[in-house]
Structure 1
């Protein structure tokens, strides 16, 4: 059995192992990481060999950490990344290059249509009717998008949202409210099979699925990092955030919004971001937490989006794709039956 895990912002961890009588056998760790002293590698191998095959990533990481010499130095990887690679090997997880990827970047549609397309395309990837896909969004109007489990009245000032021209919609993934002004944000969705993140914790899968974005932003001179659970940031502040939804049919939706530009005053008037949420961020203003890409890079929005697409294509061999007429029609029906209804928007008043 073979498993790989690319540590976000770090190195590749590779494991090979066998299963014998419910135990891990012939375990070997490899990768492009740095490890001192040399014999620490043997200590890691010995720690994992003989463990039960149903040991979770945390248990494997604890065994690795306990076996390391006191002076061991791990650079580019962690005991937790070893545990993740082992779980991926035992689950026969797929890698990025095991799939034929498509990149879709089409005309602007409404916020509700974008959300419906997310659900439709995720289901189709899950049941095999669509190849795994990266979709770059375009918006034809501004919106506040709240998380699936948020209270509408607690998160949005409806009067101010209407005054500033923001529609209010609810997505199928969790997480917090996002102020999405048309032309001022960059949003993308990944529609992937569950096998791509098999063996990972939710936290690991967030960083894993956005690692290509960090590489793209760094190539533009932005010192981008991932901040658990779901923030993309730089030393200057938060750039954006991600959210996920895993559907019963086997499809995984991972989408993220990056701030390209913003009006902090409008954000403060439209979003009701409470003090409790901000208390662990070291700031009293949500707007001050965000540092948009326009200020950090000085580049046009479209140029940043092109770099995102080009990086994904270079890393994973993706080709240009399109949303079919049938998929658009299915999404339009879902807008009418779900995303445009008060029952969905106000399911948590």
Structure 2
């Protein structure tokens, strides 16, 4: 069995092993990490050999930690990442390059289209009718997107939304509210099979699925990092927020909204945002703009997206694709029966 785990912001850990009588045998850990002293690698392998195959990640990490001498230095990985690689080997997890990645990047669409297409493409990947897909959103009109479990009246100032003609829609994932106007954010979705995140904790899967975008931001000159549970941050404040939805089949929707150039004054009139939350969005005053990507790169939004897609393609490959007629039909049905209905939007008033 073979398992790999690329530590977000760190190194690759690879584990090859056998399972004999429900125990780990012939464990061989390797990777591009740094480890001192040399004999520590042998100690890691010996500690894992003989462990029950149903061991939790926490117990495997503890076993390895106990086996290492106090002077051990691990750079670019940890005992927890070794345990994760073991669990991914046991679960026959797939890696990014095992998949034929597709790209969907359409002209601007309505908020309801985006909500319904997210569910549609997730269902298609889950059913095996579509390969793993990266979709970049373009918005045709302003909106507020609230999380699946948020209260409308707690998050949205109805008077402000009406004044600016801003529609309120509800997505299928949890997390917080998004204020969107065409051209002011970069939003993307990943639709992946459960095998890609097999063996990862819920928290680790967030950083794992966005490691590629951190590399792209570094190419753009932004020193960015993942801030648990679901934020991407820089020295100047929050850049992006992520959210996930998982189906019973294991398929995962992971989507991210990045601030390119947001009108913070309008945002605070539409959303009910406290001072603490506003400061986390990168501005201390509602009169300022939330523009980490624009101000930190000095580049047009389209150029930032191009760099991101090029970075993904170099790592994993990426082929242009289009939404199928069947997917369009399913998304249209979901608008009529779910996302465009007051029952869904106001299911938590």
Deviations 1:270-311 (A, max 9, x none): 222347x74996999597996520011010000011111111
Q: State the 1:248 CA deviation.
A: 2.2
| Equivalent position of 1:234 in the other structure | 234
Number of aligned positions between the proteins:
348
CA distance in structure 1 between the partners assigned to 2:42 and 2:213 by the alignment? 34
Deviations 1:177-205 (A, max 9, x none): 11112110000001111111111111111
Corresponding residue SS for 1:162: helix
Please tell me whether residue 183 in structure 1 is matched to residue 220 in structure 2.
no
Please tell me whether residue 146 in structure 1 is matched to residue 184 in structure 2.
no
Deviations 1:31-76 (A, max 9, x none): 0011111122122222212211111111111222222211111111
CA distance in structure 1 between the partners assigned to 2:155 and 2:269 by the alignment? 11
Seen in structure 2, the aligned counterparts of structure 1 residues 154 and 237 have a Cα distance that, compared at 3 Å, is same
Residues 145, 169 of structure 1: 8 Å contact kept: yes
CA distance in structure 1 between the partners assigned to 2:250 and 2:321 by the alignment? 21
CA distance in structure 1 between the partners assigned to 2:43 and 2:151 by the alignment? 50
Corresponding residue SS for 1:88: helix
Seen in structure 2, the aligned counterparts of structure 1 residues 44 and 235 have a Cα distance that, compared at 3 Å, is same
CA distance in structure 1 between the partners assigned to 2:186 and 2:135 by the alignment? 11
Corresponding residue SS for 1:14: strand
| Equivalent position of 1:7 in the other structure | 7
| Equivalent position of 2:221 in the other structure | 221
| Equivalent position of 1:170 in the other structure | 170
**1:123-162 mapped onto 2 (5 Å cutoff):** 123-162=123-162
- Return 5+ residue gaps in structure 1 as ranges: none
Residues 225, 232 of structure 1: 8 Å contact kept: yes
Q: State the 1:216 CA deviation.
A: 1.0
CA distance in structure 2 between the partners assigned to 1:62 and 1:153 by the alignment? 46
Aligned-residue Cα RMSD (Å) equals: 2.1
Please tell me whether residue 211 in structure 1 is matched to residue 211 in structure 2.
yes
| Equivalent position of 1:272 in the other structure | 272
Corresponding residue SS for 1:74: strand
- Return 5+ residue gaps in structure 2 as ranges: none
- TM-score by length of structure 1 reads 0.95
Residues 113, 331 of structure 1: 8 Å contact kept: yes
- TM-score by length of structure 2 reads 0.95
